[in-house]
């Protein structure tokens, strides 16, 4: 794809755009994440094809964090090189800081020093003057929330980020964060990024309603539960999958016999809807308009094409909802690695 020219029909309705809560900015229903598959010492042709294909499918939002790779930072370097081929004014670029990034006492969590230093480094790696969204990647129990939020306010005031958001904060933390910003007249938190999927519904307890109360959009990460909600595991565990890797995020208990049976039942429901399991899982996350976007990864352009087709059917009948809930009632998965109520 040398000399990439974007598809002139990319805004023909193939991708719906949803308001981010009460705010003016709109996000595509599907966002491309760079958590996996975009690390490495140099940009690959596959990485370019994934991004170009996503943009041609109407995906205008690209999600990063300081330590995505591996190695740490390499995803931002590679993303910056690829995204230069897209019109900057037509895309949203997000980054985050909160997890381990560099050694020493200032290399993670939520201090002002860490967040401000981290964003400066991210902008250098990306080769950009600003990001559209900058997140506190996780709640820091040892730093006053006022310090973390004042840092987010600073980067917005400095023009280094256009909007601020939070990720993996629970309901109580989300409410407090919004109240602190409101009290101090700081940049509002326009978006929350929690993990949410058919296999992890913790945000339904109260976080969705709380985010809506404060006018926040929600972008769901891991909507395919690290690939479990795809056809990849219908016939066992492939050697190339994350579940087969000892360093993966799929844990013991995530692939029990009962889970495999549930996946097969869900796959049949998806088939009856003329969807793949992955398409149905994404459609299900997006069935509520309070969910602004579903954040997906991809290892090929083909995956982008297939998974973005989920937007063609975002409605579920009461019968389909009942069948899905019945299948899910037979399994018990470990609590979220990131946040829970």
Q: Does the pLDDT at position 239 exceed 60?
A: no
Structural contact between residues 111 and 138, judged by C-beta atoms closer than 8 angstroms = no
User: pLDDT tens digit string along 198-238?
Assistant: 999 999 999 999 999 999 999 999 999 999 999 998 886 66
Using CA atoms, how far residue 115 sits from 38, 121, 131, 319, in Å, is: 23, 10, 14, 47
User: pLDDT tens digit string along 166-195?
Assistant: 999 999 999 999 999 999 999 999 999 999
Strands 92-97 and 161-167, bridge-based pairing: unpaired
Find out whether the peptide bond into 72 is cis, omega within 30 degrees of 0.
Answer: no
pLDDT band at 50 (very low <50, low <70, confident <90, very high): very high
> What was the pLDDT predicted at 247?
44
Mean pLDDT of 56-69: 98
What residues contact 62, with CB distance under 8 A and at least 6 apart? 31, 32, 33, 34, 51, 54, 79, 83, 91, 92, 93, 94
> What was the pLDDT predicted at 235?
82
Q: Does the pLDDT at position 245 exceed 60?
A: no
* Domains of the chain, each with CATH number or no CATH: 17-226+281-312 (3.20.20.100)
CA angle 83, 89, 94 (to 5 degrees): 60
Q: Full-prediction pTM beyond 0.85?
A: yes
Using CA atoms, how far residue 325 sits from 66, 72, 245, 280, in Å, is: 37, 39, 30, 14
């Amino acid at each position: 794809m040398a000399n990439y020219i974007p598809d002139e029909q990319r805004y023909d309705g193939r991708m719906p755009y949803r308001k981010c809560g009460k705010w003016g900015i709109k996000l595509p229903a599907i966002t491309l994440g760079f958590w996996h598959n975009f690390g490495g010492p140099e940009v690959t042709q596959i990485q370019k094809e994934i991004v170009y294909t996503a943009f041609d499918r109407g995906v205008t939002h690209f999600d990063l964090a300081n330590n995505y790779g591996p190695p740490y930072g390499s995803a931002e370097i590679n993303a910056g090189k690829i995204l230069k081929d897209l019109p900057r004014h037509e895309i949203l670029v997000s980054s985050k800081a909160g997890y381990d990034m560099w050694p020493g006492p200032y290399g993670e969590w939520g201090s002002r020093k860490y967040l401000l230093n981290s964003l400066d480094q991210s902008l250098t790696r990306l080769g950009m003057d600003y990001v559209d969204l900058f997140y506190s990647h996780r709640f820091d129990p040892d730093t006053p929330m006022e310090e973390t939020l004042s840092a987010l306010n600073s980067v917005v005031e400095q023009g280094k980020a256009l909007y601020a958001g939070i990720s993996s904060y629970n309901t109580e933390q989300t409410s407090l964060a919004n109240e602190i910003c409101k009290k101090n007249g700081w940049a509002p938190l326009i978006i929350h990024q929690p993990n949410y999927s058919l296999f992890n519904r913790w945000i339904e307890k109260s976080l969705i309603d709380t985010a809506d109360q404060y006018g926040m959009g929600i972008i769901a990460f891991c909507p395919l539960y690290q690939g479990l909600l795809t056809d990849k595991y219908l016939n066992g565990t492939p050697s190339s999958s994350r579940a087969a890797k000892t360093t993966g995020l799929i844990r013991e208990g995530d692939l029990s016999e009962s889970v495999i049976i549930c996946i097969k039942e869900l796959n049949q429901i998806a088939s009856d809807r003329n969807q793949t399991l992955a398409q149905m899982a994404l459609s299900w996350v997006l069935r509520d308009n309070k969910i602004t976007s579903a954040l997906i990864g991809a290892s090929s352009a083909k995956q982008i094409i297939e998974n973005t087709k989920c937007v063609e059917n975002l409605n579920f009948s009461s019968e389909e909802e009942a069948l899905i809930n019945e299948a899910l009632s037979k399994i018990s998965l470990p609590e979220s690695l990131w946040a829970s109520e």
